[in-house]
Amino acid sequence: MLILTRENDSRVMNVHMDEQLMTVELMDGRSLSVPVAWYPRLAAGSPGQRKNWQPAAAGYGIYWPELDEDLSTEGLLQGAKGILPQLPV
């Protein structure tokens, strides 16, 4: 009998991005891909800016300093989309 355990490690190991998809590799071997278009700051960034990421929040997040964008692995796993704040008119 197979017993399932909850020993997932959702810390970020690596991030790959092209014009369409961002793929995040997690420490436990999972990979998830999401459309870059879901995150307006990333979509507006240059390939070089999108490539310049660093782990954040003890590895449970990703930060792009040049784009001032933070994403959490929890949010990515839940399918949360990014939004830009509305400026007052």
pLDDT tens column, 76-89: 999 999 876 665 66
pLDDT at 82: 83
**Which residues in the chain land under pLDDT 50?**
none
pLDDT at 18: 94
pLDDT at 89: 63
pTM for the whole thing? 0.83
**CATH 3.30.56.10 corresponds to the domain 12-78:** no
Q: Which residues contact 74 (CB under 8 A, 6 or more apart)?
A: 10, 60
CA dist 5 and 81 (Å) reads 29
CA dist 22 and 73 (Å) reads 12
Task: Specify the DSSP element, H or E, that contains 31.
Answer: strand 31-35
pLDDT at 87: 57
